[in-house]
Each structure stands twice: as C-alpha cells, then as structure tokens.
Amino acid sequence: MSPRTDIVEVMPEGSLEVLSQQEVSRLRDATAGEQREILRRCALAVLNVGSESDDTREILERYADFEVSIVQQDRGVKLALKNAPESAFVDGKMIRGIREQLFAVLRDVVYVNAKVMAGHFDLATSDGITDAVFRILRNAGVLKTQRDPNLVVCWGGHAIGREEYDYTKELGYELGLRGLDVCTGCGAGAMKGPMKGAAIGHAKQRIRQGRYVGITEPGIIAAEAPNPIVNELVIMPDIEKRLEAFVRLAHAIIVFPGGVGTAEELLYLLGILMQPENRDVPVPCILTGPASSQAYFESIDRFIAATLGDEARQHYRIEIDQPLRVAALVAESVRDVAQFRHGETDAYYFNWRLNIEHDLQQPFSATHDAMADLELSRDRSPHDLAVDLRRAFSGIVAGNVKEYGIKAIDAHGPFELRADKSIMQSLDELLSGFVAQKRMRIAGVYEPCYRLTA
C-alpha cells in the first residue's frame, strides 16, 4: 500500500484530549531525541495495518519518509503525520480504531520515558520492575477493578496456516460466548484469530464492552502490527516487561501453534511456575490447535521433557482439535482462579502473588557475544536453564524480525548457540521443524539467523 503524500493532522481521544499548555510542552520534550524515533516507529506500525510483511527493516525502509510530530494548540495537542500509509484511511479519514491505537502509542511512549527520566521506576530490583509493569498497565487503563476475572491470554505465532488460524478463531468464538475477554500480542495470525472469534461470540451474547487487549513492545511492533480488533493497546518498554504483563494480567493462558516467539513465551511461563514459591498459585495453561498441529505440540512437549524435565510438563496440558472442550476447561479454570483470589484476598486484575525472579525480568540484548555466552547445559537447574533457553529464543526472534538483530546478522553472520550435545539435538529438532513448517517468517525463503554448536 502506497503512502499518502500530504500532511494529515489527527485529533486525540481519551486522556490526551484535554491538556494544559505546560502538559503539552512536557509532552513535546518527552518525544524528543531517541524517544522521537521510538514514537515514529510505533506510530508507523499502528498505521501500517494489514501489512503482509514481518521484516521490520523492510517496513521502515518502505516508509523512510514517514514523519510524526506533535502540534501544540490552545486546547491541547494533535499529531501531524506526513507520508502515512494509505491503508489507515477510509475516504480520506483515519479509521477510528487506528486513531485510538495511535494515541495509545503516544500515551505509553511518553509515560514510560517521563517516569524513567524522573527516576520513578526502580528498575534495579525485582519488586521495582513489577511496580513499573503495574504502573504502565494502570496508566493505560487496562486494570479493571470492578470486573470479575475473565481475561484469557492467547499466545501463538503470526506465521500460521489457514487451518490453524481458523481454529484460533473458532476457539475465540467459544470463549466469547462464555463471556471471556481476550488478550494477545496484538498482531496477526494466532493473535488476531481469537479476538475475531471472541468479537462474534460477544456480539451474539450482546456483550458490548468486550475487551481485546493487545500488548506489544517497540522492537516487535513493526513486524507484528496491531490488528484492527484491538481496543486496548499497551506498548511495554521491552519484551521482558511485556511477558510479565501477560502473566500478571492472565486468568488463564492458551498457547496456539507458533514459532520461536511462542516457545519463548512458554519457557518464560515455565521458568516462573517451576519456582517453589509459585507452587500453589493457579495459572491454568492449555496448549491447543487443530489435528494438523498435533506433531507441532508433540515436538514442543518432547523438547520441554528433554531440557527441563517431566516436572515442567505438569504445568500445562495439551488438547488437540477440541475447541469446545478447551473453552469449557478455560471457563472452569477462570472460576477456580476467581475463587482462589477471593479466598486469598488477592486482586482480580493483577497477579501480585506470583514470584518472578530478577533474572527473568532483566532485558536481554541479542548480540553475538551474548548469544554465545548462554549456558545451555543440563548441569544447571531447570529454572536457570529455562532462563537461558528463553533468551536463546528471544535472540532468534530478534535475528528474524527486529531491525537491530537483522543488522547484526548481516554484519557478522548467524548467532552461535553453544549447547550440550543432548540439548543441541533437541534444539535442532525443534528449530528445524519450525523452519520446515514455515513458522519463522510470513513470506520469502528463510535463512536461519542462528548456528548450533556443541
């Protein structure tokens, strides 16, 4: 889709509609320098709805002339867009949902930058990071205090086939009929399908306040642009805080077929649930897909058994080609979670009780040295191994679709992952399956960004 060549000025909705002159000045200051580029990239991703590319660099190059700036006016602020993607407009007017998402981007980029610069976030401690995640979500308005638990987090890949996509939509429909809301990574594929299905289920039940929460971060948003169904978009500062937001918000988790990003999410969850402190905290997790996905889930299950052991497998169940059964199980599990939280006088809207170790919260930058230094050894504890396996998959995601990762691969070749022989064989089997099943990228011939060595 070609970009517009004119300048379009867009008025905000929600919390940014009424601002004082000082607030507008601070807003402009907060989006200067490095934050200006983050705002530009996130805004472009939101406007580039319907893109069939998951190559961040290709998208940024295609819209290299795109610009976004803040326009100050007496009654607040508006955004000026130059060379914006035409797909964001209908008859010359921006689609309302995209306009809402655009100002959600501005809200989160500004809030995070302002709080970090002012020292309001203590990112040196585990409790401080959790507090930062909580504050970002609260500022975004996604912590609903007057609602019973009903938010189902759905993980899965953007590069999935039609049959798998239809299954995610069918299961989402069953969730919607049961009054359950959906939270995903906000992109296409297994992130869009459950929302689309839930929207139909909600419509049939005349649920007019259905929630379709999308949680992303600046490094991935261009490759996984928010789908148009998302009505609550949150931009977290990095992948680790994004993952923590998912787990803290979830009342149940469904894992659909995906690739390395989905494996990363599951490993992150298992790294938490295997900790003794979390033994009694219910976080229901079901892995599911159509019959054609059975081999995929068997490979995931074998990999987890071979690396983390049978204990890790106790924290999830696999249900193949059973959308009605899965929806019923999730609804029942959510009721159990509600009963547990009520009995423990815990918040319904944020899972404070889960203990998340600091090493799972630390941002991981996928450089060649960092990837080579990961300790993928069976001599380590299952928790520690889960931490570094999660980082390994995060690095492969970066090499596949994130601009800085793609540039690093171009400059220095594939990342090198060193592992015990048994782990290397399990990794090779899993990753080779992802490549063969075209789960690494949406289009084009995939060139692996990694190399495995013993």
- Please report, for residues 21, 25, 142, 221, 448, the alpha-carbon distance to residue 18 in angstroms, rounded to integers and kept in the order given: 10, 13, 20, 28, 49
Report pLDDT digits (tens) over 37-63: 888 888 888 888 765 555 666 777 777
Token pair of 45 as six digits: 């991703």
Beta pairing, strands 67-73 & 76-82: antiparallel
Quote the pLDDT of residue 214: 97
Quote the pLDDT of residue 2: 57
The verdict on pTM exceeding 0.95 is no
Rounded Cα distance between 218 and 152, Å, is: 23
Rounded Cα distance between 9 and 7, Å, is: 7
- Identify the band that residue 79 occupies on the pLDDT scale cut at 50, 70 and 90: confident
- Please report, for residues 95, 275, 335, 341, the alpha-carbon distance to residue 151 in angstroms, rounded to integers and kept in the order given: 26, 24, 11, 14
Q: b vs e for 26-47, b when ≥16 Cβ sit within 10 Å of the residue's Cβ?
A: ebbebbeeebbebbbbbbbbbb
Domain ranges for the chain: 7-120, 141-454
Return mean pLDDT, the chain. Answer: 89
Rounded Cα distance between 180 and 254, Å, is: 13
Return the CATH fold of 141-454. Rossmann fold (3.40.50)
Rounded Cα distance between 214 and 15, Å, is: 19
Rounded Cα distance between 230 and 452, Å, is: 38
CATH of domain 7-120: 3.30.1850.10
CB 403 within 8 A of CB 121: no
- Identify the band that residue 442 occupies on the pLDDT scale cut at 50, 70 and 90: low
Q: Is residue 137 helix, strand or coil?
A: helix
| Nearest residue to 265 (alpha-carbon basis) of 300, 218, 291 | 300
Q: Is residue 344 helix, strand or coil?
A: coil
CB 152 within 8 A of CB 214: no
Rounded Cα distance between 434 and 327, Å, is: 27
Report pLDDT digits (tens) over 173-226: 999 999 999 999 998 899 999 999 999 999 999 999 999 999 999 888 877 889
